[in-house]
Amino acid sequence: MAPYQTQTLRPDAEGIARAAAWLADGQLVALPTETVYGLAGDATSDLACARIFEAKGRPRFNPLIVHLPSLETARKIAAFPGDAEALAGAFWPGPLTLVLPLKPGHGLSPLVTGGLETVALRVPEHGVMQAVLAKLGGPVAAPSANPSGRISPTTAAHVLAGLSGRIAAVLDAGPCTVGIESTILAPGPEGTRLLREGGLPREAVEPLTGPLVPDTTPGTVQAPGQLGSHYAPAAALVLNSDLSDPHAIRIGFGPAEADLTLSRTGDLVEAAASLFRTLHEADALATARNLPIHIAPIPDRGLGRAINDRLRRAAAPRS
């Protein structure tokens, strides 16, 4: 691929217009969302979608999430079975992705859907992302803007560290507020399946859907986020540590002494928002001094479930 001089755009009218113009031209632009930065391309363009896989170095053509400005635009692309209408009504715009049956004439590139009969749709809340979607006037495919298998980006600097020279631009709107990818649900006639824990906690969803069905269906797509080793720092990562070993970069949760912390007050929302930034920072310190990273236990409730899911994958043996 021809190397790019990756530009940094400001989150103003000019930056938004430039981002939309590049997307309309089939180029890739990393865009801010409330969850993580997304590597955006025109979801109707085969070329743009192929460039996404190339830029990320993704080993396989896993289906991508399609970002839309509103529920009305989503209804033109997919059907809303089971709890889908209620979920979209309650949580869009926001950190929720719904896997839904495609409608005929949807117009998306088959690379977005991986040739499936379903599509993952999300209406993000971030004002800058919404402005780009409005300006472009079409669907945007966007996986997290990191090289495949590495830590997800929650700042423009993270995006550039992984993808500089591989994409046209990054639109810098500061750190992401949620900090962890969207929750992925698949509503259907037999209830709603949970495909990925994420920024919308299960406790918020279940009053509406009833108990979520674990995703055990054989033959479903393996989400990259569901592969063993993912979100991986370069340094070794040890989970549930009591942080007593000084020969490590120690990440705390709560008031106990540590080198870095996800949240000194033990707040899971703050911990999710700082998770990937803290892992990036710990990884730089750990690799420079050839030390492992030790991280304190995180309670398995609310956003703690999504945090622990990402940490388990980050610590998994590398393939």
Q: Which position's Cβ is nearest ligand TXA?
A: 223
182 binds Mg ion (CB under 5 A): no
126 binds ligand TXA (CB under 6 A): no
Point out which span in 13-21, 56-64, 157-165, 300-308 binds ligand TXA (CB under 6 A): 56-64
Point out which span in 62-70, 85-93, 262-270, 289-297 binds ligand TXA (CB under 6 A): 62-70
* Closest CB to ligand TXA among residues 99, 173: 99
Write the secondary structure of 1-69 as one string of H (helix), E (strand) and C (coil): CCCCCCEEECCCHHHHHHHHHHHHCCCCEEECCCCCCEEEEECCCHHHHHHHHHHHCCCCCCCCEEECC
Helix (H) or strand (E) holding 261: strand 260-261
* Closest CB to ligand TXA among residues 51, 294: 51
6 interface partner picked from ligand TXA, Mg ion, none, CB below 5 to 8 A per type: none
Do the Cβ atoms of 98 and 121 come closer than 8 Å?
A: yes
Q: Which residue has the tokens 């310190």?
A: 285
Q: Which position's Cβ is nearest Mg ion?
A: 144
- d(CA 191, CA 211) in angstroms, rounded, equals 8
- d(CA 248, CA 46) in angstroms, rounded, equals 45
CB of 284 vs ligand TXA, minimal distance in Å: 23
Instruction: Supply 292's token pair.
Output: 């492992």
Write the secondary structure of 298-318 as one string of H (helix), E (strand) and C (coil): CCCCCHHHHHHHHHHHHHCCC
> Binders of ligand TXA among 134-173, rule CB under 6 A?
142-144
| Candidate list 20, 98, 111, 120; residue touching ligand TXA; CB under 6 A | 120
Which residue(s) pair with 294 in the sheet? 238, 250
116 binds ligand TXA (CB under 6 A): yes
Report the number of secondary-structure helices (H) and strands (E) in the chain.
10, 15
> Binders of ligand TXA among 209-268, rule CB under 6 A?
221, 223-225
* Closest CB to Mg ion among residues 148, 192: 148
| Candidate list 6, 45, 118, 144; residue touching Mg ion; CB under 5 A | 144
Q: Which residue has the tokens 């495919």?
A: 141
181 binds ligand TXA (CB under 6 A): yes
| Candidate list 62, 209, 241, 274; residue touching ligand TXA; CB under 6 A | 62
Helix (H) or strand (E) holding 134: helix 127-136
Do the Cβ atoms of 187 and 78 come closer than 8 Å?
A: no
36 interface partner picked from ligand TXA, Mg ion, none, CB below 5 to 8 A per type: ligand TXA
Contact set with ligand TXA (CB under 6 A): 33, 35-36, 38, 62-65, 97, 99, 116, 118-120, 122, 142-144, 181-182, 184, 195, 221, 223-225
Contact set with Mg ion (CB under 5 A): 144
